[in-house]
């Protein structure tokens, strides 16, 4: 898989452009459904990544692209859920997350990529 952060709000994966956050699970790309986390927006100042979302836990390592400037909040409960599931959680700005994905074995790695902030 070839992922490239183009600019704030835009990403390219295997030649296809995305302008919404994405989830990559077992090599398949889908749009991130973040409505379950929106209730926590006031608490974090931004819709966080939370355990209420459909997180792709079927992996050894979960790469979270935290946005152009690395500002996506991740709830403590999500960190705890990663630990319970035996998943290494790697949270880095999205451009770096793309570089990690390009080198990853997608049989062992899933991702959530935030495209703004």
Mean of pLDDT values over 16-40: 97
Q: Into how many domains does the chain fold?
A: 1
Mean of pLDDT values over 26-55: 96
Q: b/e for 16-54, b at 16 or more Cβ within 10 A?
A: eebeebbbbbeeebeebebeebeebeeebebbbbbbbbe
Q: Give residue 62's pLDDT.
A: 98
pTM for the whole thing?
0.96
Mean of pLDDT values over 9-23: 98
Q: What is the domain extent for residue 56?
A: 3-114
CATH number for the domain that contains residue 57: 3.40.1230.10
Question: Would you say how long the chain is, in residues?
Answer: 117
């Amino acid at each position: 898989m070839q992922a490239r952060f183009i600019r704030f709000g835009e990403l390219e994966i295997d030649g296809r452009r995305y302008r919404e956050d994405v989830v990559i699970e077992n090599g398949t790309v889908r749009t991130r459904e973040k409505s379950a986390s929106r209730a926590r927006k006031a608490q974090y100042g931004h819709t966080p990544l939370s355990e209420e979302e459909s997180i792709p836990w079927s992996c050894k390592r979960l790469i979270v692209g935290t946005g152009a400037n690395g500002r996506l909040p991740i709830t403590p409960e999500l960190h705890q859920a990663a630990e319970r599931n035996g998943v290494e959680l790697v949270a880095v700005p999205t451009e770096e997350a793309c570089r990690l994905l390009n080198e990853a074995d997608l049989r062992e790695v899933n991702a959530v990529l935030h495209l703004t902030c």
